[in-house]
Amino acid sequence: MGVSRDEAWRLFCEWTESDSLRRHVLGVEAAMRAYAREGGEDEELWAATGILHDLDYERYPDPDTGHPRLAVAELERRDYPPELVDAVAGHAEYLGVPRTTPLARTLFAVDELSGFVAACARVRPEGIHGLTPKSVKKKLKQASFAAAVDREQVHRGAEELGVDFDTHVAKVIAAMEERATELDLKGDGSAWAGGGRHRARGRAAAMNGRERQSAVYTGGVSGRRPRVPVAPERLADAARRAMSEQAYAYVATGAGAERTMAANRDAFDRWRIVPRMLRDASERRLETELFGRTLPAPVLLAPIGVLELAHPGADLAAGRAAAAEGIPMIFSSQASRPMEEVAAAMGEAPRWFQLYWSTSNDLLESFVARAERCGCEAIVVTLDTTLLGWRPRDLDLAYLPFLRGKGIAQYTSDPVFRGMLDRPGDDGGSERSPQINLAALRTLIALTRAYPDRFLRALRSGRARAAVERFVAIYSRPSLTWEDLPFLRERTRLPIVLKGILHPDDARRALDHGMDGIVVSNHGGRQVDGAIATLDALPEILEAVDGRAPVLLDSGIRGGADAFKALALGASAVLLGRPYVYGLAVAGEAGVREVIQNVVGELDLTLGLAGGSATAELEPGALTRV
């Protein structure tokens, strides 16, 4: 049977809530219509194909098991034209469906390109108006810009159509420009830099401190207090009450006697802000640029594993909160949901991926490839966890969440890792097995439920337990050295950021090995007891880097004044860790948003009250050491 454009749009909207994904398919539709008109084809059919090609992307983004297989099945069930169904299947190269019709070849040619054109338009004050093929080709050469877009596919699409590349780009631009308002491409000077196919635009500017204060105080007039405590100590206490004893201990406590955790806070106390008076603070700018992306504030959500300890569906909630506030989230290797699902929930908002260097190079390559496909804009390699730190509170509770199947979703969703479960392990796992009793059986049931398969099948096959055992054996490589870094550098065009640097010589070596950035971090005091505080390590590392790469900082950031001090000393941005997990525990997605708003709001007011007008212009002279 035939299908009208309006019917296709109604179906797509039933399956998809994301505004960014809706805009993407409308952009593809515009390009498809232009080619249909030029070739005398059925414009309604071609428009419907452009809309329906991503029917299942929001619900089932995993290319190994989902998109576009579920869309194809639904379209076949509805008896839609075979030409349309084949084109939808053919636009995903990994399915191996040949593109034998003009419809299929055109969809393949305009899909990635239309997303890239939209990304280019959104970084221009005038939007898509005046955008040229020359500008688009220049951006295509910038690997860090809209890194999720497959450049090779963009060029090959034009080749399959038999169309000159510049002519092809110009046609897509013109088609989308006709619908600039509908596609949100008119331009306003506040769009994100970075783009990507299935991402939603974030906030153009962070909520300033006065707005945040007003929202809270106005609520107080009606008797409403913030659900998420503003004071750091009260926030942590509220999270403790909301979480289990084991979960809170895993998140909140540190290595040994927690001297490193204390040192992190003491270091912030030793640096004092010196306010300057009578400097116009009516307008304050928090924007910063990292790897070609302009961010509304120099704050990122740090990679934190096993977020499900704080809240069900936590990774998705944190991702949506970060997207709503316009700040990047760094996906953890030890996440509770696959990166593809969180990326789809975030829309166009920026995200990075944190990598634990596995003993399996194949798995490492697979993780990086997946991160690239789902639009991550940088790879953050955590260096300080080649061994697990000595954490007395976790040891007293005999609690490690990974042994219960928690925090291993990146692994169980990975085709390379799942393939490992089909062959005997040679990675050395634990020599001890748990004593079989009621508690062990409960744990077996819990980890089986966490495994992405039918419960009884996973239980009978033993794959859930095998996944936990294999994860423990391979997730980290104690033998990692500087000589391993070229392996990663050769396998991704994304910026690589090394996290865990505390010595200036290591910072120099990182740059000498082609790394693109550094996070000064001691893992929040969770790895080495008695280590140097990150704020104490920062000045010498900045001197060693000498402006050649961004230097970020985490460990100990509890509010906007802390962020101000790190930025004044020279950090490019800060990573927020435990506070957002506490907000997540107290109020889910809304809790994370409130924590971000509180930190950014305090940073904004501190900047103004200290006599500054832009965080990018802060200098060490704004501080004194006591």
Residue 463 pLDDT:
75
For residue 343, what are its two tokens?
Answer: 């990326």
Res. 460 pLDDT band, cuts 50 70 90: low
Nearest to 393 by CA among 303, 258, 241: 258
pLDDT value for 365: 97
**498 torsion bin: left (phi>0), alpha (psi -120 to 50), beta (else):** beta
Rounded to the nearest 10 degrees, what angle do helices 102-122 and 151-161 cross at? 140
Over residues 167-190, mean pLDDT: 86
Q: Is the peptide bond before 68 cis (omega within 30 degrees of 0)?
A: yes
Inform me whether the pLDDT recorded for 458 exceeds 70: no
The pLDDT score that the predictor gives to residue 455 is: 66
**Which value, to the nearest 10 degrees, does the dihedral of the CA atoms of residues 459, 463, 467, 473 take?**
120
> Mean of the per-residue pLDDT values for the chain?
91
The DSSP call for residue 301 is E
pLDDT tens for residues 21-55? Answer: 899 999 999 999 999 999 999 999 999 999 999 99
pLDDT in tens, 319-366: 999 999 999 999 999 999 999 999 999 998 999 999 999 999 999 999
The beta-carbon contacts of 161-164 under 8 Å, at least 24 apart in sequence, are 161/105, 161/106, 161/109, 163/109
Taken in order of first residue, the domains within the chain and their CATH numbers are 5-177 (1.10.3210), 232-275+284-410+473-625 (3.20.20.70)
Asked if pLDDT for residue 425 goes beyond 60, the answer is no
Contact present, 144 and 135 (Cβ < 8 Å) = no
Tokens read off for 296: 């509304």
Q: Which of 573, 592, 570, 571 is nearest to 583 (CA)?
A: 592
> Which pLDDT belongs to residue 80?
95
The residue-averaged pLDDT of 122-144 equals 83
For the residues 109-114, what does the mean pLDDT come to?
Answer: 96
Task: Supply the pLDDT for residue 444.
Answer: 66
C-beta separation of 518 from 551 below 8 A = yes
Out of 18-27, 601-610, 611-620, least confident range = 18-27
Question: What are 264-314's pLDDT values in tens digits?
Answer: 999 999 999 999 999 999 999 999 999 989 899 999 999 999 999 999 989
pLDDT higher than 50, residue 209: yes
199-203, 417-421, 604-608: which has the minimum mean pLDDT?
199-203
pLDDT tens-place string over residues 53-68: 999 998 888 777 889 9
Percent of the chain with pLDDT over 70: 90
435-449, 497-511, 603-617: segment of lowest average pLDDT: 435-449
The answer, yes or no, to whether residue 426 has pLDDT greater than 70, is: no
What does DSSP assign to residue 277? Answer: -
Query: Measured between alpha carbons, how far is 573 from 591 in angstroms, rounded to an integer?
Result: 22
What mean pLDDT do residues 582-609 have? 97
Question: Which of 54, 44, 62 shows the shortest CA–CA distance to 20?
Answer: 54
pLDDT in tens, 67-111: 999 999 999 999 999 999 999 999 998 899 999 999 999 999 999
Banded pLDDT at 481 (limits 50, 70, 90): very high
Q: How far is the C-alpha of 372 from the C-alpha of 564, rounded, in Å?
A: 32
Which residues does the annotation mark as catalytic?
523
Q: What is the pLDDT of residue 187?
A: 67
Q: Cα separation of 617 and 285, whole Å?
A: 10
pLDDT at 429 over 50: no
Contact, 121 vs 158, CB < 8 A? no
Residue 111, pLDDT score: 96
pLDDT above 60 (res 19)? yes
